[in-house]
């Protein structure tokens, strides 16, 4: 359970860094761990992670790009005038695989240089953010792409939260059914129509209807104004 909580904390941190609220669903999360983890590790926190896809990945599947630079303090005294050519060789992407395989030393024009003559760095790919544990043995990668469908799903969850607050304020029992009436813009109408069954199920509503003239409670959801009125079904 400890590693599950650590993954959850990483997800919260990377969402904060990406300015994506926890209630907004995301397209994908990828988890890389040096210690073995399974789907059962993720299961208890699945709902809170709030991602369409959650994958446990191998090291080679991480969304990172490896870059290479020459450590001149090591290479220049050995290569002297040939250092510029070595820099071009190292920066050429087609030589990356060879450089990675040369764990004992890097061969350049018949000269073997120490492994530390080339510095390897990892850069997370565009469209992803990451958060890592203090030890660096656990990393969560977040796909930051938010498409229209994810935006609408996130909006529907915000509406559900407001409706649940209103139910609580009216001291309704869990079994009490309600009728919901609302007034807002086209984005809200689209979100409600697309996720209508989910919303009704979550707030025990027998109907959700649009009425541009209602005098309901006003809410602001990320700059979107919406008025909502709920009536207990007798």
- pLDDT, tens digit, 9 for 90 and up, residues 178-194: 999 999 999 999 999 99
pLDDT, position 222? 85
Structure-block tokens of residue 26: 């995301």
What pTM did the predictor assign?
Answer: 0.76
Let me know: does 65 contact 125? Beta carbons within 8 Å.
yes
- pLDDT, tens digit, 9 for 90 and up, residues 75-97: 999 999 999 999 999 999 999 99
Contacts of 31 (CB under 8 A, 6+ apart): 7, 37, 42, 54, 55, 56, 57, 138, 139, 140, 141
- Sheet of 128-132, strand order: 51-57, 26-33, 138-143, 128-132
């Amino acid at each position: 359970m400890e590693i599950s909580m650590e993954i959850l904390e990483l997800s919260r941190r990377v969402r904060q860094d990406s300015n994506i609220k926890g209630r907004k669903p995301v397209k994908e999360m990828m988890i890389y761990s040096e210690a073995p983890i399974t789907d059962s590790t993720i299961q208890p926190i699945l709902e809170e992670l709030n991602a369409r896809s959650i994958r446990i990945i191998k090291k080679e599947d991480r969304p990172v790009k490896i870059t290479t630079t020459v450590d001149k303090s090591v290479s220049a005294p050995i290569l002297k005038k040939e250092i510029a050519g070595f820099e071009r060789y190292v920066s050429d992407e087609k030589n990356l695989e060879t450089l990675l395989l040369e764990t004992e030393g890097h061969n350049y024009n018949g000269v073997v240089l120490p492994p530390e003559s080339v510095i390897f760095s990892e850069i997370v790919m565009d469209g992803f953010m990451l958060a890592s544990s203090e030890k660096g043995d656990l990393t969560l990668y977040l796909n930051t792409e938010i498409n229209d469908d994810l935006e609408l799903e996130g909006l529907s969850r915000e509406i559900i939260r407001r409706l649940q607050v209103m139910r609580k304020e009216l001291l309704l029992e869990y079994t009490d059914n309600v009728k919901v009436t609302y007034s807002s813009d086209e984005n809200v109408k689209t979100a409600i129509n697309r996720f209508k069954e989910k919303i009704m199920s979550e707030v025990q509503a027998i109907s959700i209807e649009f009425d541009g003239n209602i005098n309901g409670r006003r809410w602001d959801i990320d700059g979107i104004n919406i008025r909502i009125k709920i009536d207990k079904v007798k």
